[in-house]
Amino acid sequence: MSEVAQGESVQGKSAPGESVQEESAPGEPVPEVRCTARPVDVLPRERLKAYEGRSAARAGAGKDPVNAPMIRHWCEAVGDTSPAYRGPDAIAPPTMLQAWTMGGLSGHTDRSGAFDELFALLDGAGYTSVVATDCEQEYLRPLRPGDRITFDAVIEAVSERKTTKLGTGHFVTTRMDIWADGELAGTHRFRILKYAPSARKAPEAPKAPEAPHTPEAPPERTAEQQKPEREPEQKPQSAAAAGRPAPRRPRPVINRDNAGFWEGVARHRLLIQRCAGCRTLRFPWLPGCSRCGAPEWDTVEASGAGTVFSYVVLHHPPFPAFDPPYAVGLIELAEGVRMVSNIVGVPYDQVRIGMPVRLAFQRVDEEDEEYELPVFRATPGGEG
């Protein structure tokens, strides 16, 4: 596959998309291999490096000054309730840095020719696909309503040819310097991968259809017998019945930010974080308070009482180790925070919003006695 991806044809005779044949012994069938990825050229490193340092955009201007409505929309969308972003002395959230430079559906007209040349070069060499990989931001001063935004962008780096799971290509890094009323406010680096997709195996040719079978005509039925028949519902055969090992539940991703929560679960305690600064409860666990920004925290053990704030019933797709249909609820705990978990102890079609539930710890893996999850069981009399 790599030879084809680099533009080398098998036996030097194939064109992109044409079938190529391997040699075989006389009398043996000749296997056919079909290439589904177009060949790509190896671009000289010096040719790509020549674009580094060249301008990608010069004297670009934001379409709107920094303004309170956009700040409010941003905060509402991401759930940021920091008081720093409200009121007469409000500042813009630092992560909005790039938002003030975006051109909208009409785009910007200040992109330089060098940027278009580089993309045309990569496209012409076969690297026709693109995916954004990551960005980095550096903040030098806060932005406030009324600031006029301008920016300059430069092609900072073009990598050597890299091979990824997506395909072979080059990473292109653009650095944007963002100015507010002539003062440098921050830097935004944006990295993309221009690549040629990996070759994929062509689908096998469909088998020739079998000759249709004409069943014998059924005997005539009387009027009383002309009732529609329903086929019994057939559920997929379970792994145990099929003699296969039962699939195992996915394990939680435990890191230093949420380890305390899972340690509590292991002791059958549902722990809620509490900010040590403003005493706000929060869930799920986070490294800092979203209200005041304080990093210090302690915990409060939940009483276990709650109500169904919202829920969904999952029917499809059927995930391994799960038995649909089942109810997944957004549970509002008595302490005021909400968490997502399964609702048990009641048929899925009897779950109702407002239903009282109680915390339980349920073993979910037959092979792992210690693997339990917090779920919520409908309380007696709470069924709809």
CATH of the domain at 161: 3.10.129.10
DSSP string covering 316-370: SS--TT--SSEEEEEEEETTS-EEEEEEESS-GGG--TT-EEEEEEEE--TT-TT
Last residue of a domain, one of 181, 197, 213: 197
pLDDT of the residue at 230: 41
Are both 14 and 111 inside the same structural domain? no
Residues 311 and 361 in one domain: yes
Question: Which has the minimum average pLDDT: 49-53, 125-129, 203-207, 221-225?
Answer: 221-225
Does 210 reside within a domain? no
Least Cα distance to 290 among 308, 277, 304, 302 occurs for: 277
> What mean pLDDT do residues 261-285 have?
95
Q: Of the given ranges (132-136, 225-229, 243-247, 378-382), which has the lowest mean pLDDT?
A: 225-229
Range of the domain at 9: 2-34
Q: Which two tokens stand for residue 362?
A: 């349920």
Cα separation, 67 vs 86, in Å, equals 11
Per residue in 66-100, pLDDT tens? Answer: 999 999 999 999 889 999 999 999 999 999 999 99
Q: Residue 135 is inside which H or E element, if any?
A: strand 129-139
List beta partners, residue 109.
none
Q: How many domains does the chain have?
A: 3
CA end-to-end distance (rounded Å), the chain: 59
Whether residue 252 lies inside any domain: the answer is no
Q: Which range has the worst mean pLDDT, 283-292, 315-324, 339-348? A: 315-324
Tell me the residue ranges of DSSP E strands in 41-119.
Answer: 55-61
Q: pLDDT value at position 192?
A: 94
| Percentage with pLDDT > 90 across the chain | 57
Give yes or no: residues 83 and 141 share one domain.
Answer: yes
The two tokens of residue 228 are 């529609």
The reply to whether 163 and 292 lie within a common domain is: no
pLDDT at 217: 52
Based on the domain organization, do 29 and 63 belong to the same domain?
no
- Residue 207 confidence (pLDDT): 59
Q: Is residue 261 pLDDT above 90, yes or no?
A: yes
What is the phi/psi pair of residue 270, to 5°? Answer: -95, 105
pLDDT band, very low/low/confident/very high, at 154 (cuts 50, 70, 90): very high
- In the predicted model, is pLDDT for residue 306 greater than 80? yes
Q: Are residues 99 and 144 in the same domain?
A: yes
Q: Which two tokens stand for residue 81?
A: 């309730």
Please check whether residues 318 and 347 belong to one and the same domain.
Answer: yes
Cβ–Cβ < 8 Å for 118, 51: yes
pLDDT confidence of residue 53: 92
Confidence of residue 18 (pLDDT cuts 50, 70, 90): very low
The answer to whether residues 26 and 72 belong to one domain is no
Length of the chain measured in residues: 384
331 pLDDT more than 90: yes
**Higher per-residue confidence, 349 vs 4:** 349
Give the whole-angstrom CA distance, residue 237 versus residue 38: 43
Taking residues 138-148, report their average pLDDT: 96
Average pLDDT, integer, range 162-179: 93
Instruction: Verify cis geometry, omega within 30 degrees of 0, for the bond prior to 284.
Output: yes
Same-domain pairing of 271 and 172: no
Q: What is the pLDDT of residue 107?
A: 64
Q: Let me know: does 303 contact 374? Beta carbons within 8 Å.
A: no
231 has a pLDDT exceeding 80:
no
Q: How far is CA 225 from the centre of its chain?
A: 54
Confidence at 264, pLDDT banded by 50, 70, 90: very high
Do 335 and 305 share a structural domain?
yes
When pLDDT is cut at 50, 70 and 90, the band that residue 243 belongs to is: low
| Paired residues of 302 in beta bridges | none
- Tens-place pLDDT, residues 181-216: 999 999 999 999 999 987 665 555 555 555 555 555
